Structure 1
Amino acid sequence: MNLTMLLDMAADGFGDRIIVGDREAGLTAERLRGLAIGAARTVLDRGADAIVHLEVNGPAFPVAMFAAAYAGVPLVPVNYRLGTDQLTLLLAGHPGAYRIGGDGGVEAGEFLRAADTATGEPPDPLDPAAPAVLIYTSGTTSAPKGVVLRHENLVSYVLGSVEFAAAGADEAALMSVPPYHIAAVSNVLTNLYAGRRLLTLHSFDPREWLRLVRDQRVTNAMVVPTMLARIMDDPDLDRAVPTLRALAYGGAKMPPRVIEKALSEWPHVDFVNAYGLTETSSTVAVLGPEDHREAFSSADPLVRARLNSAGTVLPTVELEIRDEEGVVVPAGVAGRIFIRGDQVAGEYAGVGSTVDARGFFDTRDAGRLDADGYLYVEGRIDDTIIRGAENIAPAEIEDVLLRHPHVADACVVGLPDEEWGQRLAAVVVPVPGGEVDPDEVRAYVRDRLRSSKTPDTITCWPDLPRTPTGKILRHSVVNGLTSTP
């Protein structure tokens, strides 16, 4: 199967149901198909070899995704926030693309109007092994790489995650991540297949998010942890969300105090923590609603700790934790996370497949499984700090810092040190209205870990540099600390 078959199933199964946008004036599934076919004809008439989407979220994005599929070319959603030099370099790699947005591209409205007036039959179905989407990674630790996701990868993820037409006609989902993130791609596909209307928020604002949830009767939503923190931390917000049934989060570490407050204030909401990567076509592990409720209410520290986990792996994928020699380690032992499954691409433009001989993809994430199969992600392998002869995962220290009552956000990095090779430096953000005493916080960490994992310095900043999807820009933190007189 390819992506066009998912849209065909939706249009044939519930074609008159509004599937994108406002509940009064949005696009039905049948209308989405018509626009996608029209846009595909426009793209083919131009002789384009890809569709570059350089716009904010909106109806043009799902139309472009399925238009690319019908045209047999990949969709390339590009970060419109990139600097001029980065953007120029990236776009130079797609000289033959049909471009939506940006200098030299068609405006989103013009793209939709052209799609509405194009004529012709839809192209023949393409090979499921053909590239469907090319997503450039965020590049928080290195230059962005183009991840190739083929139709078979994305369809496998959808079929393994969602039941066709499972959503009720009253259900609506709100997506707040930008279109160049894998979660945006997966949200379009899974909500369409389920029959759930999808709304988007161009730029996140907690008040606007809450207004949309109430006005559009949103039942399902997806946020990154920094978004939920902004909703929960503002004392002046009316956080009533009577129609909200489920809220998924992921993309970065969730501060314990934030998820605990959300569980307390919204007991009727089913929370889901989703862990996945662009290279795995989105989610590979889930901490489900009952896991959240059980962990939140439990007095058992081992069960309570599951709120910090990524949950258990999907039945459609396999996961291994391996040591530095590539040997699979037992439960409780930390190592490197490897994933295998049909949804796993592990492929980069200009590089090819990076899966190993057994079909496993190296996520470059550190983690461990507990005895019950819950996955704990401990950060990127590339972020590891080497102090003396000891490898230290910043995430372990950050988890402790985030439990301090006066700390809202935290990042730990390694800075050059003549004696130890690297020294530990922490940047913390105080909770609203709070103050942080660096010595007291250092003592707090030392009491819970050990002296070698206690930050040598703690610096307070008003906020941390993050990508729009919530990932900490660690190189910016290092630069900020080393450039300070």
Structure 2
Amino acid sequence: MDLPFIVATLTRRGLLTPGRPVRIASQLNALRTWGWSLAGELRQAAARDPGRPAIIDEDGVELTYQTLLDRAERMARSMRSRLGVQAGDRIGVLCRNHHGLIETIVAATLLGVDAVLVNTGLSAAQLSTVAEEQRLRLLVHDDEFAERVLGLPAELPRLDERAREELVAGALPGELHPPERDGRIIVLTSGTTGAPKGARRPTPSGFGPLVSIIDRIPLHAKDRVLIAAPIFHTWGFAALQVCFALRATIVLHRRFDPAATLAALVTHRCDALFAVPVMLQRLLEVPPPNPRPPLKVVAVSGSALPGGLAPKFMDVYGDVLYNLYGSTEVSWASIAGPPELRQAPTTAGRPPHGTRLEMLDDNGQPVPEGRVGRIFVGNEMLFEGYTSGASRETRDGLLDTGDLGRLSTDGLLFVDGRADDMIVSGGENVFPSEVEDLLAQLPQVREAAVIGVPDPEYGQRLAAFLALHPGETLDPEAVREYVRHYLARFSVPRDVVFVKYLPRNATGKVLSRELRRYYG
């Protein structure tokens, strides 16, 4: 990424403002010494703005950047001296969004330890599998998961919230030095269709990744940001990285509640909200507060935006919505801002600066504009492979996302869904996401999911699962006729199933495997 673009973007976003020379020197030295790991990002923030609030928890805990760094360092020293944790080890972190989660991740990176961010929605059996496959040396968990961890091997040390606080309080004096190896962040794939895999996230090598994001999403230095997306997820963790780089004040709630989130946005005068799309749906189901939150940015990622959600949300909260399309493996691929979402509510936008995006056929050749192809992405934050040793297909430095999509004549990306979600019904290729987007626009429908199921005559057929707003009703044949009016006959779902709610994982993705249980 070219230097003039980096400097211009950092200036626009308020990161190159004058300050006390001694603090600026200390800030730059922190980055030079510790690099761009989470530990380095926190150190530079504490060096430049030590007294600035870093985290505000829902339970009233407020930590400055200096206090947060001190606590993380104390925990790192205790993990090393009392528990024998050392560089190259892996620890599991099973926590919701609160300061203890962040302190633990930073402590790991201070020691050169890999932190495995464990999905809070995993079952006890899945957790046992993760602990074994990731060869965990230690598990740090919230108290609410005490029963879930009971089945783990007795030799695996576990720290609940009280034990973690005792480590922080009882740290011995000492000095921490940059580890010989960077501690990696390992994010577990969402596991909507099977067991989650560990994906090794790279450590940024400079300003490039930050600039790619804040050039397109107008976040500024010292913003106040509520991170509602789970930090164990790629999107929530990316929000944390961006906030540290911007020396932002981070507001955290352990669980997402729409009314409480809106109240916190107003109380803490938040400039930005990081969320997943289903959270926007829930926010629209409660009355907007008066006054409205002073939001300038609502950034979402993690799953597709349902049809019609973007304009509905912006009609209530203003043109502040930014949708980032990416994955655990490729980080980001494209970003859609308010103008693009007004023009085409289901678009994934355009690739940011420094990102390559190609639609390729099965032979690795580019497909024409408007034709569906496999989405391949190249940027400087592609993952380093799965912890199992497996990777994904690459072509000319571009990584396969596993999704199918198309580019419009004006360069907008549209994602048609996972390659393995596409079905062939009676010889026709059918994308369930297209039908989902259409059904989501029915006023009676709260949320919709469409999947392919076996069919003895056509090979596969579509089944639609609809959760309606309270008090609403729909007739299955009316649903089919609605789809028939707008789409081809092979896109009409032959099965229409009404459910109270759609099964989702902790990041808001619909669990297709749970829906397929309706078919044995």
TM-score by length of 1: 0.89
Q: Determine helix, strand or coil for the equivalent of 2:377.
A: strand
Q: How far 1:376 moved relative to its partner?
A: 0.7
Q: Which shows bigger deviation, 439-448 or 14-23?
A: 14-23
**8 Å contact 2:134–2:198 — kept in the other structure?**
no
**8 Å contact 1:255–1:408 — kept in the other structure?**
no
Does residue 42 (structure 1) correspond to residue 78 (structure 2)? The answer is yes
Does residue 115 (structure 1) correspond to residue 168 (structure 2)? The answer is yes
Q: How far 1:166 moved relative to its partner?
A: 7.0
Structure 2 counterparts to residues 201-280 of structure 1, below 5 A: 201-234=253-286, 238=289, 240-267=291-318, 270-280=320-330
Q: What does residue 15 of structure 1 align with?
A: 50
Q: How far 1:183 moved relative to its partner?
A: 1.5
Give distance in 1, aligned partners of 2:290 and 2:424. Answer: 43
2:357 maps to which of 310, 319, 344: 319
- Flag as ranges the 4+ runs of structure 1 deviating above 6 A: none
Give distance in 1, aligned partners of 2:121 and 2:206. Answer: 26
Q: What does residue 289 of structure 1 align with?
A: 338
Structure 2 counterparts to residues 325-474 of structure 1, below 5 A: 325-345=363-383, 347-356=385-394, 358-474=396-512
TM-score by length of 2: 0.84
Structure 2 counterparts to residues 94-113 of structure 1, below 5 A: 94-101=134-141, 102=146, 103=149, 104-113=157-166
Give distance in 1, aligned partners of 2:377 and 2:65. Answer: 34
Structure 2 counterparts to residues 35-114 of structure 1, below 5 A: 35-45=71-81, 46-48=83-85, 49-101=89-141, 102=146, 103=149, 104-114=157-167
Q: Determine helix, strand or coil for the equivalent of 2:460.
A: strand
**8 Å contact 1:146–1:349 — kept in the other structure?**
yes
Q: How far 1:2 moved relative to its partner?
A: 3.2
Q: What does residue 2 of structure 1 align with?
A: 36
Does residue 33 (structure 1) correspond to residue 69 (structure 2)? The answer is yes
RMSD: 2.3
Q: Which amino acid aligns with 2:51?
A: D
**8 Å contact 2:236–2:274 — kept in the other structure?**
no
Q: What does residue 299 of structure 1 align with?
A: none
Give distance in 2, aligned partners of 1:454 and 1:96. Answer: 47
**8 Å contact 1:323–1:329 — kept in the other structure?**
yes
Q: How far 1:117 moved relative to its partner?
A: 4.0
Q: Deviation per CA, 1:95-138, whole angstroms, max 9, x where unpaired? A: 552321144521235324423542211122444xx451111111
Q: How far 1:432 moved relative to its partner?
A: 3.6
Unaligned 5+ segments in structure 2 are 1-34, 150-156
**8 Å contact 1:175–1:223 — kept in the other structure?**
yes
Q: How far 1:226 moved relative to its partner?
A: 1.6
**8 Å contact 1:225–1:252 — kept in the other structure?**
yes
Give distance in 1, aligned partners of 2:496 and 2:238. Answer: 38
Give distance in 2, aligned partners of 1:27 and 1:355. Answer: 43
Give distance in 1, aligned partners of 2:97 and 2:57. Answer: 14
Q: Which shows bigger deviation, 399-408 or 219-228?
A: 399-408
**8 Å contact 1:279–1:344 — kept in the other structure?**
yes
**8 Å contact 1:21–1:197 — kept in the other structure?**
yes
Q: For residues 353 and 123 of structure 1, do their structure 2 counterparts lie closer, same or farther at Cα, with a shift above 3 Å needed?
A: farther
Q: Which amino acid aligns with 1:260?
A: P
Q: How far 1:167 moved relative to its partner?
A: 3.4
Structure 2 counterparts to residues 151-170 of structure 1, below 5 A: 151-152=203-204, 156-162=208-214, 167=220, 169=222
Aligned residues: 464
Q: Which shows bigger deviation, 83-92 or 429-438?
A: 429-438
Q: Which amino acid aligns with 1:40?
A: A
Q: Which shows bigger deviation, 105-114 or 207-216?
A: 105-114
Unaligned 5+ segments in structure 1 are 296-303
**8 Å contact 1:173–1:220 — kept in the other structure?**
yes
- State the identity %: 30
Give distance in 2, aligned partners of 1:106 and 1:85. Answer: 19
Give distance in 2, aligned partners of 1:389 and 1:433. Answer: 39
Q: What does residue 124 of structure 1 align with?
A: 178
Give distance in 1, aligned partners of 2:247 and 2:411. Answer: 32
